[in-house]
Structure 1
Amino acid sequence: MREIVTLQLGHLSNYTATHLWNAQEAYFTYSQDQESPVDHDVHWRPGIAADGSDTFLPRTVIYDLKGGFGSLRKINALYEDESAAVQPDVPSSSSVWPGKSVLHKQQPLEVSAYQLSLDDGRQPERLSKSSVRYWSDFSRVYYHPKSLVQLYDFELNSSIRPFERYPMGVELFQTLDKEFDIVDRDFRPFVEECDRMQGIQALATLDDAWGGFAAKYLDELRDEYPKSCIWLWGLQSPLVDVTREKRQLRLTNTAQAIAEVRSSASMVVPLMMPERGVPSNTHVDPTSPWHVSAAFATAIETANLGSRMTEKAMPHAPSMWDLAEGLNTGGSQTLAGLRLGVGAVAGTLDDDNDGVDLFSFGRLPSLTGKQTKRGRLFGEVNMLRGSQPDQANVAEEDARQPPRRLVGDPVTQKFNSSLKFPILDSFPHIYSESKDQPEIAVQTILSTTKSVGTHVKALKAQTVRSVSVDERETLSNELAEIADAYQDDWSSGSDEDDD
């Protein structure tokens, strides 16, 4: 098998991953006459419930802060019998306290109407931005109890002690790892179930403290699994009603995270919903994580579609390593951009039609208000689903390609699938062409171009003075090295934008 183990770090990451798991669940077939084009064993693990029945649950480890799981219980209906044997509310007879114990219980959150409809087997009620309070409110899948890890050191959306600074995430991971060995306790059990693990995919927010937590977590994973392919989908929250100081803090967090994870991740794909240049058929409310994460999930689920397709559905389907090596043509280009085209835009993405360009770092002053030229192309992965290209044009293009790639030539990988992206009742109506439609055509382009270096240079110039003097030189050098990997020639150009 080609198993992939997923790591989810942070609230926005869990919103995005919930859309991903809902889409994966939609690919299941329940008839002997139907055969799914997706190999479910890649992302799902078989198991046995408390009553002895077979289960099929996501291969994932989910971290969130106190209060981040909403009404989701760690022990779900599949493992109810197991939880019955545990009575945490009963005081221990061996307690050192001789007096009478008084139990204080927090009022549990009400289960969303959508979840109640699923549990009762009724047609789910239509979701709205106001009815989605947590990512668990629109989840359509069960999780293994070991998948859910709540961190009680910080509380979600706390105004007293917000989890918003990169060093806080680093410190939290180091504290927990010293006490528990997090990777060994939480992640290793899922890896040991795999026969031939294809790789690890992580989703984490880069612009808050989760960036620091993710950097240390991926560093540990690289030490434990040195030959594994590790992809990081680095998410950033929209800058809506955010003060200038908060924007600067988020940029600095992102810079520190990017500088740190490049040495442990095989490929890092930063994602941010643009404020301008969005096609007219895409309507994302930046104030709603349900909306923003839906767009992220559409792009991620499509970009790595080949890693879980069956050989019959997609001959020569690419693995995670195939995709990473095609993008990282120079050996140190571990940062890639991602563009998304949906509906009528799918199949037309090129330099003139950008679709939704998800590659950005906040509102960098040097890049705001103007189109950044992509420049030289190093590697590209073009995935088109649900809209087959003109075969005559494909044959003509293949005939023009040289039989052997020369050193320095760009590497272009193109893949097509008839499997469209599913539009479920848990998915918001952000695509105008998906109204009353069960699925929609999607195209994504992952690429490494010169513009990646341009963005990193702008990020460096904007953030190095925001860190402490002790860290300033290290951060500046790390970001300069990343930017140098995307130059047109061997000249580094590192003297540009020096402090």
Structure 2
Amino acid sequence: MQEIVTISLSHRANHLSTQFYNCQEQNLYNNDPKNSVDPSVFLDPLIDRRTKTVTYYPRALLWEAKNGNGSLGIYQYIQDTQDYHFKDDKKEIMAGESSHEVVSTHKKIERSKYQEALDNNEPSPKLTKENTEYWSDYNKLIYQPNSFNSLKDWYHDPELPNLPDYQNLKRQRFINNEQGLMEWKSQHEDFLDENLRSVLEQCDTLQGFNLVTDIDSAWGGFSASLLQELKDEVPKCSLFSWGFFESDILTSSKPSIDNKYQVKNAIQNTLSMMDHSDLFFPIYSDSKLSNWEVGGQTCRIYDTVNSVLGHRDSDKRKTMDYITNCITDGDSKRNLITSITEIDKYYDYSYISRVISYDKKNRSNKEYYEFSNCVIHRGPQFLKDNKKNNDMKNKESFRNLETTVFEPSDTIPEEFRTSTQYSVKLSSTEKARDVFKHWNDYVQKYFRFDDNREELKEDLGTLVSTYEHGWYSDEDSGDDL
């Protein structure tokens, strides 16, 4: 058993983590050793020897803005030693010689009908984007109290759930990197010394981490700082970073520089994530979808990669290092997943694939060189159809992996759980060159008074060269901003 811990930072990231752990809860009912995931990889089993039962807790650390947990209390499901009695009318709390003072810090958030149904063992109501505002509205597993972490001065705003509000005053948003860096500096010691160590102590043989976050807001700066210290704390562990990107000037047909913070954050945070991660997965988040829908859609990819890492069958189970080698081919600088495609639907989840081509003359039919890839097949027939050679020494076979059939939770939107057998292709292609070339131009134009301008230009120039194949002339440069 090689455990994997999820560190989830931002409200949107917590929706994805919730969907993933709900699927892990679904997997608990699958006892087929040839087609199931070992629950102990992602869940911490706590055995009660008296009742001879096992309770599974997510191996997770969640970061949220204040009130971002919704109605979920940190100690809601932890047994209290006090004996509580409630008067019929005033609901006053009485506990023998002592009592707890109830302090209200914000308007009470009502529990969802879904959670009430789970607690009462009743049929669950249908989930929609209207009744899944918070990830806690539909989470199934119980988290340990040390899993929860909160920003100090930033509050969740239901109107803009992905941009916390400073002191709940509606005047300043958690939008630029400096805010994220300052917030991390004020909290990192408590997090590393207490909550992180507490989760790590529950692991026998830690394999690595999944870090999920938003890239183009202050969450990205906060996460990049955390990631750097995490790599120093556990340097021998593998680390996969998953970053959500929204549409910006590089993906829009009508470019604008109004979202300059967004692009600036994306550039700085992507470079930092790549520098301190084994693999970086840039995920596109469609603004037309709610966080519940984005989490359900992205879970198809996130669960696919992790199902390979936690497969019960030792012949099919692969390590994080194995997948990293499939993508990087030994070049650790080329660790950006350029394309994340569900082959059967021809749908690419990657932000990179949506960036406008840098080649103005040949944008419509531009073909990019593929440096390497890894194909994960969920279902034996897909492996049989796509695998050309059964010799495991063959390069094609080495990159074709078979894993479990998707076991979606009923909390995932129906359109994202109808197909349970599919194939996902992870690729490293020359398309990344377009992104780094665009970013290099942007830094030159709009970072003129930034202290790290020259360092960013040098790093981006190196990455442009890393993702080049063949010969390029100076004619491919242009001004797209």
Q: CA deviation at 1:245?
A: 5.0
| Partner residue, 2:160 | none
Q: Deviations 1:403-423 (Å, cap 9, x if unpaired)?
A: 676xxxx99611123x33234
Instruction: Give the Cα–Cα distance (whole angstroms) in 2 for the partners of residues 83 and 485 of structure 1.
Output: 61
Relative to structure 1, is the Cα distance of residues 465 and 84 closer, same or farther in structure 2, using a 3 angstrom cutoff? farther
| Aligned ranges 1:46-195 → 2 under 5 Å | 46-47=45-46, 54-77=54-77, 79-81=78-80, 105-157=105-157, 158=165, 159-177=170-188, 180-195=189-204
Q: Deviations 1:333-363 (Å, cap 9, x if unpaired)?
A: 1211242327xx26xxxxxxx4234232876
Segments ≥4 residues shifted beyond 6 Å = 33-36, 49-53, 239-243, 490-493
Structure 2 residue matching 1:421: 3-state secondary structure: coil
Q: Deviations 1:41-70 (Å, cap 9, x if unpaired)?
A: 110112368998642101010001112111
Q: Deviations 1:363-402 (Å, cap 9, x if unpaired)?
A: 65848994574522222110111361374763x4457x9x
* Range with bigger deviation, 256-265 or 56-65: 256-265
Aligned pair count? 447
| Partner residue, 1:414 | 400
| Partner residue, 1:207 | 216
Relative to structure 1, is the Cα distance of residues 289 and 358 closer, same or farther in structure 2, using a 3 angstrom cutoff? same
Structure 1 residue matching 2:382: 3-state secondary structure: coil
Query: What are structure 2's unaligned runs of at least 5 residues?
Result: 85-92, 95-100, 158-164
**Percent pairwise identity:** 23
Alignment RMSD: 3.6
Q: CA deviation at 1:215?
A: 0.7
Structure 2 residue matching 1:204: 3-state secondary structure: strand
Opposite residue 250 of structure 1, the aligned amino acid is Q
Q: Within the alignment, does 1:341 sit opposite 2:342 as a pair?
A: yes
Structure 2 residue matching 1:24: 3-state secondary structure: helix
Q: CA deviation at 1:30?
A: 7.6
Q: CA deviation at 1:181?
A: 4.2
Match of 1:263 among 249, 268, 275: 275
Instruction: Give the Cα–Cα distance (whole angstroms) in 2 for the partners of residues 463 and 307 of structure 1.
Output: 38
| Partner residue, 1:7 | 7
| Aligned ranges 1:214-229 → 2 under 5 Å | 214-229=223-238
| Partner residue, 2:245 | 236
Q: Within the alignment, does 1:378 sit opposite 2:371 as a pair?
A: yes
Relative to structure 1, is the Cα distance of residues 124 and 104 closer, same or farther in structure 2, using a 3 angstrom cutoff? closer
Structure 1 residue matching 2:399: 3-state secondary structure: strand
Q: Deviations 1:251-304 (Å, cap 9, x if unpaired)?
A: 211111011222211111111046xxxxxxxxxx72411112211111111133
TM-score between both structures, scaled by the size of structure 2 = 0.82
Opposite residue 227 of structure 1, the aligned amino acid is K
Instruction: Give the Cα–Cα distance (whole angstroms) in 2 for the partners of residues 356 and 316 of structure 1.
Output: 25
Structure 2 residue matching 1:388: 3-state secondary structure: helix
Relative to structure 1, is the Cα distance of residues 3 and 149 closer, same or farther in structure 2, using a 3 angstrom cutoff? same
* Range with bigger deviation, 62-71 or 354-363: 354-363
Structure 2 residue matching 1:133: 3-state secondary structure: coil
TM-score between both structures, scaled by the size of structure 1 = 0.79
Residue pair 1:422, 1:440 contacting (<8 A) in 2 also: yes
Structure 1 residue matching 2:187: 3-state secondary structure: helix
Q: CA deviation at 1:454?
A: 2.0
Match of 1:355 among 344, 347, 354: 347
Instruction: Give the Cα–Cα distance (whole angstroms) in 1 for the partners of residues 79 and 326 of structure 2.
Output: 46
Residue pair 1:28, 1:36 contacting (<8 A) in 2 also: no
Instruction: Give the Cα–Cα distance (whole angstroms) in 2 for the partners of residues 238 and 83 of structure 1.
Output: 51
| Partner residue, 2:89 | none
Relative to structure 1, is the Cα distance of residues 121 and 404 closer, same or farther in structure 2, using a 3 angstrom cutoff? closer
Query: What are structure 1's unaligned runs of at least 5 residues?
Result: 91-100, 275-284, 347-353
Q: CA deviation at 1:155?
A: 1.2
